[in-house]
Structure formats: structure tokens, C-alpha cells
Structure 1
Amino acid sequence: MTTITSSESSSPTVKRRQDIITVFLAFGQELDEYTDRRERLVKEISNELLGQNENFWRYHKTISPGLQEYIEAVSFAKYLKDQTLLSFTDLQQDLRNADGIPFFPLGLPHVDYLLGISDLTGELMRFAISSVGSQGLLIASREVFSSSLSICNFVRDCKASLDPMSAHISELRQKQEVTTASLRKIEEVVYSLSIRGLGDAKMSNFNVVNNLQLDSKCFDDKD
């Protein structure tokens, strides 16, 4: 077993290591205290709101945009993790407090889930385009192409699933128009990478991004 002599223990390296450990332990303790306070606060708020479920629908219109933003965020994180869609059931399980009590005992409104997923398509579009702008080499472009193609297929499936329901939900109908535009942009990314980007190893980031501005007529259905 290696022992540390007094001279070694006073060396700058050992001292820095001890300082780091001290700071880390202090930070860990502070983080634990913060987590405890947060859990107590959430529990107190939950207790105050318990029994007020009858007021949920009165204020639903006010909180709905926030729910949609949350659903968009967690579903985007889910896609980045395993390239799958966050299911309504999994979302319901996530919306519970530390004691397992659901935040929405009557169930999360399905319409908020649908609207949040529709918003997800716009976030995926921005992710696909930003990925192109951050890559320039041929090998990297192939990876981006594969990712962009997967996003394109995913967004296309989401659009196909949501479109039939947009006839019954006016807000979804408006969002689906944005989804259609987002899908078009992702298709342009895939087209640019497959035809213009991957075919030329010397193509720069500037050229790839500028080639995304394609004539929309290229995507119109031919009679």
C-alpha cells in the first residue's frame, strides 16, 4: 500500500486535490439542502391545491400554453435520448409529485398533449437545420444526413397522425400549418445533403446552408 509522507501531503498537487474535495463536499451538501427545500415546497403547494380540482377547467385556458411548452420540452428530450415519441401514458406518469399523487387527478387534457407534440415538430426542424450549420466535413455530413433523415421521417409520421384531428381542434389546425412548413424545411435539409452536400467533399458550411433555400416547386406534386 502506498503511503503519503508529510512532504508529499504538503505538495501543491495534494493540497489542490484536498481543496477540490472540500469544495465538492460543500457543494453536495448545499445541493442536498436545496433538493430538500424544493421537495418540501412542492409538497406544501400540492397540499394547498388538493381538493381544488373542480377549478381546473376554469383556469385551463390560462395554464394550457405552459403545459404545451412543457410537453414540447420533455418530448424533445425524449427524442434526443432514443429517437422515439413520448407517449401520453408516460407523460401522465411524469406529472406526479414526490408522493406519486398526479398533478391532474382528472387526467392531463388530451388536447394539450396533441398541441405540445405539434410544437415538437418545430423544435426538431430547428435542431435539424442547426446540425447542418455546425458540420462541414464529408464524414460529419453523413452523420448529419442520417440524423436529418430520421427527423424527417419522424415529423412526417407526427404530421400524418395529427392532421385528421385538426379538423376538430381549431388551435391544432393552426399549429399543423406550421408543422407543414417545418416538414418542408427538413425535407430541404435532407435534399441538400443528399444531392449537393454528400456528393461534394469540398462543400463548405456556407454552401450547405445557403443551398437549403430551394425552389418550393421542386416539392410540389406532379399531375
Structure 2
Amino acid sequence: MDLSLSEDRAVEDVRCEFGKMKNAMECEQEIRSAIRPILKDLTNHTKEAVAILRAVHQSSRNTADLTQAARARLPQIQSLLKQLGTVYPSEWYHRYHDMWRNTCQNLSLLGSFIHYLQTGTLIRRNQLADLLELSISADDGFCITLDDMLAGFLDLASELSRLAVNSVVHGDVERPVQIAAFINEMNSAFQLLNLKNDFLRRRYDGLKYDVRKVEEVVYDLSIRGLKNPGEPGSG
């Protein structure tokens, strides 16, 4: 066997393999470059919509106008989400998940915040997908993963614990009781989960603090005679 020929083939194989890796890296870089401007706009629109809802802390009785204003931002958000889903191969969703993880968590907060202010209940996964016009699974298109959705729920709990305090400041003594019942129910539901995600486990510790904070607000209302001790959320 010609040893030099064998060596030439080995060198060619190495060059070929590295050429494929170079092309793959360039392709991935192009996709990331295409994602960034869309994601930047999506992040900004999402933050603006959440900021609209956070005005509820200044006047907890003005929820209808605020949710309507936030929902008015949804068409632009939905359009950007559709654009985002076209710039990467569908099977590569998790490869780029690190880029949009935080934005997806904010989208979960946005959807669950709107839903709570309108209904007083926790949004379901299919309802969140319908609201944002997303898929349920990454196999079918752009989606919000279960972990990101749960992280958004924990952010919602923090917003609501703050709202409980601010509602009292503005003379609304009913909302803290409703929030206390809701957050306690959410806490019980999270206890049923086997949270293996370290990030979620750390965030869940914050939910325990939110529960305690709201219960203290309700207790203060009770001892001041501003609510009936027998109402939900009093214990």
C-alpha cells in the first residue's frame, strides 16, 4: 500500500471535515444574526406591554383600561413571534433557546398578568399559546417552554404580592384577599411539581416570600377590622 497516498487521503478527510464544521458555524452565525434584530424588537414591545400593566400599582381599580391597552400591543408581538419562527430550522429551537429565554419568560408574565387582571384566574398553557398565537410544542413552531411559562407565573406572583400592598394604599381592601387566595393556590400547585431546574427551584423560593408578604397584608386588614376574618385568605 502506498503510504503517501494514505496520508494524503487522511489530510483530505481532515480538511473536508473542518470545511463542513466551518460551513455549519457560519450558517449558525447567520441565523443568530437574523434572530437578534427581531428578538430586540420583540423584547422591547413585550417590556412596554408589561409596563402598561404595571400601572395597575398606581390605581388598582383601573384594570380594564390597562388590560385593553396592553392587549393593543399583542398584534405587533404576534407578528414578531411569527417572524422569529421563520429564521431558524424548527428542529433547532432549543439550540437558540438561550437567546430568547428571558423574553419568553416575560411573554409568560405578560399573558398571565393580562389573564389574571381580566378573570382572576391563572392562564392555562393552551390559553397562553392562543393569546400570543404560538404553538404548544417546539416541534410545531415557536413556543414558550413549560419552564419559561412557570418562570413567568412566578414573576406574576411577585407582581401580585406588590399589588396587594398597593391596593390597600389606594383603599381597595378586597383585592389583597383575592390575591392571597390565588397565590396560596399557586403555591400549593407548585409544591406538586418535582422541580429539577435549578433556576426554577431558586425562583420558587421567592414565591414562598410572596405568600408570606400577602398573608401579612391580609392579617393587618383583619386586625384593623377592614375585612371579615372568615373570608377566604384570612388564615
TM bucket normalised to smaller: 0.5 to 0.7
> How many angstroms apart in 2 are the aligned matches of 1:116 and 1:47?
21
Q: Which residue of 2 aligns with 1:79?
A: 116
Quote the sequence identity (%).
27
Deviations 1:40-77 (A, max 9, x none): x749835842x621221011122111111111122111
Residues 1-223 of structure 1 mapped to structure 2, 5 A cutoff: 42=80, 45=83, 48-49=86-87, 52-96=89-133, 104=138, 105-106=140-141, 107-135=143-171, 144-196=172-224, 198=226
> How many angstroms apart in 2 are the aligned matches of 1:114 and 1:103?
15
> How many angstroms apart in 2 are the aligned matches of 1:159 and 1:47?
33
Q: Tell me which amino acid in the other structure corresponds to 1:123.
A: E
CA positional deviation for 1:158: 0.6
Deviations 1:69-107 (A, max 9, x none): 11112211111111011110111122327xxx8895255
Q: Tell me which amino acid in the other structure corresponds to 2:130.
A: Q
Q: Bigger shift: 190-199 or 155-164?
A: 190-199
Structure 1 spans left out of the alignment, 5+ residues:
1-34, 136-143, 200-218
Aligned to 1:178, the other structure's residue is in SS state helix
Q: Tell me which amino acid in the other structure corresponds to 2:83.
A: I
Aligned to 2:123, the other structure's residue is in SS state coil
TM-score relative to the length of structure 2: 0.56
Moved over 6 A (4+): none
> How many angstroms apart in 2 are the aligned matches of 1:125 and 1:48?
38
> How many angstroms apart in 2 are the aligned matches of 1:115 and 1:168?
13
Q: Bigger shift: 165-174 or 148-157?
A: 165-174
> How many angstroms apart in 2 are the aligned matches of 1:87 and 1:163?
18
TM-score relative to the length of structure 1: 0.59
> How many angstroms apart in 1 are the aligned matches of 2:120 and 2:161?
14
**TM-aligned CA distance change 1:145 to 1:166, over 3 Å:** farther
Say what the alpha-carbon RMSD is for the aligned residues: 3.2
> How many angstroms apart in 1 are the aligned matches of 2:152 and 2:212?
20
> How many angstroms apart in 2 are the aligned matches of 1:160 and 1:43?
32
**TM-aligned CA distance change 1:88 to 1:48, over 3 Å:** closer
Aligned residues: 153
For the 8 Å contact 1:96–1:102, the answer to whether it is kept is no
Deviations 1:187-217 (A, max 9, x none): 0110011112528xxxxxxxxxxxxxxxxxx
Structure 2 spans left out of the alignment, 5+ residues:
1-72, 228-234
Q: Tell me which amino acid in the other structure corresponds to 1:75.
A: S
> How many angstroms apart in 1 are the aligned matches of 2:82 and 2:109?
27
